[in-house]
Amino acid sequence: MEITQILGYVGALAIGIVLGLIGGGGSILTVPVLVYLLYINPVTATAYSLFVVGVSALVGAIRNIQKGLVDFKTAIVFAIPAFIAVYATRKFLVPAIPDQLFEINGFLVTKNIAIMVFFAIIMFVAAISMIKSNGKKITSETAVVYNYPLIIIEGVVVGLLTGIVGAGGGFLIIPALVLLAKLPMKKAVATSLLIIAIKSLIGFIGDVENLDIDWTFLLIFTTISVVGIFVGTWLNKFIDGKKLKKSFGWFVLAMALYIVFKEFTK
């Protein structure tokens, strides 16, 4: 096994540990680990990421369901437009993107480069969200009120982004649940995991029909990531995950800049 492969599996463990420690954000590292350490094609990497993200989020969602923190009605209302959008994106939109897009001063912008640069932009937005997070919580148990048109639009946007880049989009979903459904922050975080699990795994089904999936590799990688979640949860007893969130945000920002540099200097 090559050193990069070993680092790739270490990366899978790190993804889970970050998820366990800070409750989100770690999944955004999945695509860079798959592409740059395990040399997997970006289209396939975003598909694999959907599966890893979906299973990891499901593990977290089950734990939150046991604690009674998940608002099922909100999850269903938000998840339906999101999973329709992500499935359609993976099944129809991504395969329809041509391999060669355009040329700038002799530099050919391919489908793979475009996906990774777009992913870097999403990483940048997620990083800013983590860095600026001030930890304020909404604790009032006000009645849940649904702004259906905005929830549907937000669901479609999140589904589209998730379908293209393979990330969970929790940094978009959680604020939407707080603002559009008036959920307390703790319930919003817990409910977002169930939404992410549903839309990611259904989106992955769109890929199963289009791509050759290396199930052995994917299941090993995902299992290591899930083990990492439990390690991260255990470490949470000794380390304040919330304090780490801002530092991790800066790391994600650096990774976003690295991806752009890497893609344009090939």
Reported as a single tens digit per residue, the pLDDT across 98-134 is: 988 888 888 888 988 988 898 898 888 888 887 886 5
CB 42 within 8 A of CB 116: yes
Residue 205 has pLDDT above 80, yes or no: yes
**128 burial level (CB within 10 Å; 0-12, 13-18, 19+):** middle
Point out the least confidently predicted range of 111-125, 134-148, 225-239. Answer: 134-148
- Please state the domain extents for the chain: 3-264
What's residue 3's pLDDT?
A: 85
| pLDDT band at residue 145 under the 50/70/90 scheme | low
Mean pLDDT of 44-63: 89
- What is the C-alpha to C-alpha distance for residues 211 and 228, in angstroms, rounded to an integer? 27
Looking up tokens 């001030």 gives 134
Query: What pLDDT does residue 29 have?
Result: 85
pLDDT band at 55 (very low <50, low <70, confident <90, very high): very high
Length of the chain: 266
In the chain, which ranges are continuous DSSP H helix? Answer: 3-22, 30-32, 42-66, 72-88, 94-96, 111-132, 148-165, 170-180, 185-208, 215-235, 241-264
> Mean pLDDT in the chain?
84
Q: What is the pLDDT of residues 187-200, one digit of tens each?
A: 888 888 888 888 88
pLDDT tops 80 at residue 147:
no
Give me the residues paired with residue 110 across strands.
100
Q: Which of 79, 95, 89 is nearest to 191 (CA)?
A: 79
Cut 0.85: pTM above it: no
Cβ(17)–Cβ(225) under 8 Å?
no
Decide: residue 137, CB within 10 A, 0-12 exposed, 13-18 middle, 19+ buried.
Answer: exposed
The answer to whether 15 and 52 are in contact (CB under 8 A) is yes
Residue 216 has pLDDT above 90, yes or no: yes
pLDDT band at residue 74, thresholds of 50, 70 and 90?
Answer: confident
